[in-house]
Amino acid sequence: MEYTDVSTMKPTQVLASFCANLCYADLPDRVVDHAKMAVLDTLGCALGTHAEDPERVRIILQVARHLGAQGDAGVIHSGLRTSAPVAALANGVACHGIDFDDLHAGALTHTSCVILPAALASAEEADGSGRDFITSFVLGFEIAVRVGMAVMPSHYEHWHSTATNGTFGAAAAAGKNYGLDAGQHVNALGFSGTQAAGLLAYLEFGDYTKSLNPGKSAFNGVLSALLARAGATAPPDMLENPKGYASAYSAAPRMQELLRGLDGGPMAWEILNNMPKPFPSLSASHTAMEATLRLVADHGLRPADIRRIVVYTYDTVVSHFSGRRIDNPMAARLSVPYCVAVCAALRRAGLEAFRPDVIRSAAVQAMLEKVEIVAEPRLNALYPGALAARVEIATVGGQVHEHEIHHAKGSPGNPFSMNEMQEKFERLAAPTIGAEQAARIVAMVEGLEHVGRIRDFSHLFA
């Protein structure tokens, strides 16, 4: 990568220079491996949405067809070819449709569900290679996460950080595929800031906005890159301007987070801190779910044995993720009390645990009444470095069992192997496209950097 003296540059300019200069040769092998794992995971989530929530897909496909745009970008498993922004919109909804996609804890962004749709659609439109796609994906991931870390944690009081911060990453990914120079990337970042949106009101209802937000973020990012390529201008200091993004979207911006590794220090590849999910629910639930499953298994606890479950965890779980208005699958995925209850009641927590018949079942509803969520200062002090939980189960016989977990499966301290990720992908994809086609996709992802045209890859899930 061509390094530029950034000592006199503003943060927005530094990021734009990084966007313009990054190339595939700059990516360490570990970064490429993590990118390929994230691509496979996110595609699996999109295909899983087709099987688990076909109505969610039907709605966005109807809208995409109504928009009527012509282009070379594909909408996953639909046969539809359309413009890059519209494809990114539809695919973003599907990638986040079952809340099984990855998370970056420091930025609190489901990063890949925004970046993959934008990177894939723009790479298809630009007729890029596998290496072009990987480079744009990594770049978009790094930009989205850096912007997210700069505005957290106060940003998450109201804003859906996946959507807001993801817009910048989507613009960077698309801009890379469109060949933007540094000045054009400055404008693309400016357009991203003025379009960044997405609110957390869905936490109470589990409604469609939860998955629309990342889709619209991907759309807005691609639109930002296209505007910049066409010659439109935006504020050149959108991130640091007193009336710009960081000041408007954070009570205490940490601008240094934007520049780590880009200002002459060691490069910090944030994609290495990505967290794929072991359960199809919000990441905040996973340590508590793992602890609950461990306790009921180790002590042979049946639902009738359990008198009370207390989950001690960090503050945000209490304030954001403790809903009890559970009347649809997404609401269940967003409720830590429900996630713990279903683990205790069923002793498992796969996709079936979030289906309507299970949500309404007497066993799960009765267990839900026994679950309490409590904020514990000691565990809160570990956040966001650890999404920790301690689960205490009191039995009708008077015993108390407890287990504490700081890092769930998928976290940097307890990562997925590529084999485990391939198994997850095949479980998600096979019901929609069949086991043989799923295996073909796995094989091509393994050598994605050698694919001459990204369209040869995307046609496998068109």
**pLDDT digits over 294-343, tens only?**
999 999 999 999 999 999 999 999 999 999 989 999 999 999 999 999 99
In this prediction, residue 373 carries a pLDDT of: 98
Decide if pLDDT at 2 tops 70: no
Backbone angles phi, psi at 149, to 5 degrees: -65, -30
Decide if pLDDT at 138 tops 90: yes
> Is residue 194 within a helix (H) or strand (E), and if so which, with residue range?
helix 182-195
Q: What is the pTM of this model?
A: 0.96
Backbone angles phi, psi at 371, to 5 degrees: -95, 130
In this prediction, residue 264 carries a pLDDT of: 78
Domain boundaries, the chain: 11-278+433-461, 283-405
Give the mean pLDDT of 86-97.
98
Long-range Cβ pairs for the range 78-87 (8 Å, 24+): 78/462, 79/462, 83/125, 84/118, 84/121, 84/122, 84/124, 84/125, 84/174, 84/222, 84/226, 85/121, 85/219, 85/222, 85/223, 85/226, 86/219, 87/117, 87/120, 87/121, 87/124
Token digits of residue 339: 């996630």
Decide if pLDDT at 49 tops 80: yes
CATH superfamily of 11-278+433-461: 2-methylcitrate dehydratase PrpD (1.10.4100.10)
| Cis-peptide, bond into residue 153, ω within 30° of zero | yes
Residue 450, number of CB atoms within 10 A of its CB: 10
Give the mean pLDDT of 170-184.
98
Domain 283-405 has CATH 3.30.1330.120: yes
What is the pLDDT of the chain when averaged over all its residues? 96
Chain segment 369-389, per-residue pLDDT in tens: 999 999 999 999 999 889 999
Decide if pLDDT at 3 tops 70: no
In this prediction, residue 1 carries a pLDDT of: 60
Give the mean pLDDT of 36-60.
98
In this prediction, residue 5 carries a pLDDT of: 63
In sequence order, the 6+-apart residues with CB closer than 8 A to the CB of 80 are 61, 64, 65, 74, 87, 90
Decide if pLDDT at 198 tops 80: yes
Token digits of residue 438: 């799923």
Give the mean pLDDT of 77-82.
97
Backbone angles phi, psi at 237, to 5 degrees: -135, 45
Percent of the chain with pLDDT over 70: 98
